Amino acid sequence: VCVLGIESSCDETGVALVNIPAQGLPVLLAHALYSQIAMHQAYGGVVPELASRDHIRRVLPLTEEVLADSGRSLADVDVVAFTRGPGLAGALLVGAGVACALAAALGKPVLGVHHLEGHLLSPFLSADPPQFPFVALLVSGGHTQLMRVDGVGRYQILGETIDDAAGEAFDKSAKLLGLAYPGGQALSQLAEQGNPKAYKLPRPLLHSGDLDFSFAGLKTAVMVQTGKCAQAQGCAGPDLPPGVLADLAASTQAAIVEVLVKKSLTALKQTGLKRLVVAGGVGANRLLREQLNAECAQLAIKVHYPELHLCTDNGAMIAMAAAMRLQSGEQAATQTYGFDVKPRWPLDAITA
Ligand code: ATP
Ligand code: MG
Ligand code: FE
């Protein structure tokens, strides 16, 4: 059984084809991705209308690329999956519309997938896939959650951010330092040359005793600290000497990562589980991976990540999540191709 997956929730158009074997995990046959980041950089963030229009331009050529790369044709597609939410409504509608039109033309069923379930299950595409149950740290541009995951569709949220997401904290801090949107990866690269102890920044909710996060205050602290440095140097924040910028970046990254690591360990302790899955764009962060690996190794806890290039949005994770849902008994819709999208959609609202 072949599943075509289409992702269009934000500023990446992703298409992928996975095969569901008689036994074992679904296998990725091919995937293709187009990132709109360069287009949105001029505006300092994602412009929803431009995102929708660009998804329209990209989605069919990417689909053709995936079919060609996998040596398959549309006739081989058994189920068409798409990201149903959460995300930008207009952007989601492009993927949903194309998926349902394709399915209708082919006479094949469709399946709407939760974007965060895609992130969550993306480590199953790696060479070292996890096993259920596990604790999941979902750290993306729009979400920061700790979850207990007992199987496909069996998600219990243990804690989440009460304001900004971790990726957002990276991106907003990066912007203060003059780095281009989305900035998280650039900030972490800049941090490699800096001293993480140069500036004392808050670790919000570190000792709150629960598993919630808060990053808005940290962003403000970065703004205040950057302003102080800039005043001392008599320049604007982004024009600070490279060494100062690197120290600010390293101090910011250290604060975010320390909170993520500490809370993940608390979640593992509370649940008694011995497996941690990290997913979402911030899961690509090197310091986060190093510190989690080091801490978890001491506790005999196994940590699983998506492959680096599958941490941020992609079609492979959507096709994979659909395939795993089909494997666990979900029926794709065959009769009607009327569709809707869910711009707001909590992950624990879906079931097995
Ligand atoms: P959501 O999935 O919550 O809707 P999203 O799809 O925008 O949000 P992702 O694509 O999972 O989020 O991740 C993008 C985020 O990951 C951005 O905030 C980006 O800066 C951040 N990011 C990517 N690479 C790194 C890195 N190496 N270090 C820190 N942050 C990173
Ligand atoms: Mg993106
Ligand atoms: Fe995402």
Cβ pair 165, 215 in contact under 8 A: yes
Q: Are strands 275-279 and 302-304 parallel, antiparallel or unpaired?
A: parallel
How many angstroms separate the alpha carbon of residue 48 from the centre of ligand 3?
Answer: 15
Cβ pair 210, 276 in contact under 8 A: no
Q: What are phi and psi of 9, to 5 degrees?
A: -75, -25
Q: What are phi and psi of 341, to 5 degrees?
A: -125, 160
CA 203 to chain centre: 22
Tokens of 342: 């869910």
Helix (H, G, I), strand (E, B) or coil at 348: helix
Looking at the CA of 34, name the nearest ligand.
Answer: 2
Query: ipTM > 0.95?
Result: yes
Nearest CA residue ID for atom 10, ligand 1: 312
R_g of the chain computed on alpha carbons: 21
Query: What does the mean pLDDT of the chain come to?
Result: 96
CA nearest to 84, candidates 269, 352, 298, 349: 349
Rounded-to-integer distance, Cα 60 and Cα 57, Å: 7
* Ligand 1 residue neighbourhood (C-beta within 6 Å): 10, 87, 115, 119, 140-143, 167, 170-171, 182-185, 188, 280-282, 284-285, 312-313
Tokens of 312: 């941020």
How many angstroms separate the alpha carbon of residue 140 from the centre of ligand 3?
Answer: 6
At residue 222 the predicted structure's pLDDT band, cuts being 50, 70 and 90, is: very high
The residue assigned the tokens 């090197």 is 286
Q: Please provide the size of the chain in residues.
A: 352
Cβ pair 310, 110 in contact under 8 A: no
Tokens of 321: 């999540």
Query: In this model, does residue 214 exceed pLDDT 90?
Result: yes
CA nearest to 27, candidates 8, 2, 5, 7: 2
pLDDT for 232-258, tens place per residue? 999 999 999 999 999 999 999 999 999
Q: Are strands 134-139 and 302-304 parallel, antiparallel or unpaired?
A: unpaired
How many angstroms separate the alpha carbon of residue 142 from the centre of ligand 2?
Answer: 10
Query: In this model, does residue 335 exceed pLDDT 70?
Result: no
Element (DSSP H or E) covering residue 131: none
pLDDT for 121-136, tens place per residue? 999 999 999 999 999 9
| pLDDT for 126 | 97
Rounded-to-integer distance, Cα 320 and Cα 327, Å: 10
Residue 329 in marked binding region:
no
pLDDT for 22-63, tens place per residue? 999 999 999 999 999 999 999 999 999 999 999 999 999 999
Q: Are strands 2-7 and 302-304 parallel, antiparallel or unpaired?
A: unpaired
pLDDT for 145-196, tens place per residue? 999 999 999 999 999 999 999 999 999 999 999 999 999 999 999 999 999 9
How many angstroms separate the alpha carbon of residue 217 from the centre of ligand 2?
Answer: 24
pLDDT for 275-328, tens place per residue? 999 999 999 999 999 999 999 999 999 999 999 999 999 999 999 999 999 999
CA nearest to 276, candidates 310, 309, 305: 305
Predicted TM-score (pTM) above 0.90: yes
CA nearest to 85, candidates 22, 152, 169, 143: 143
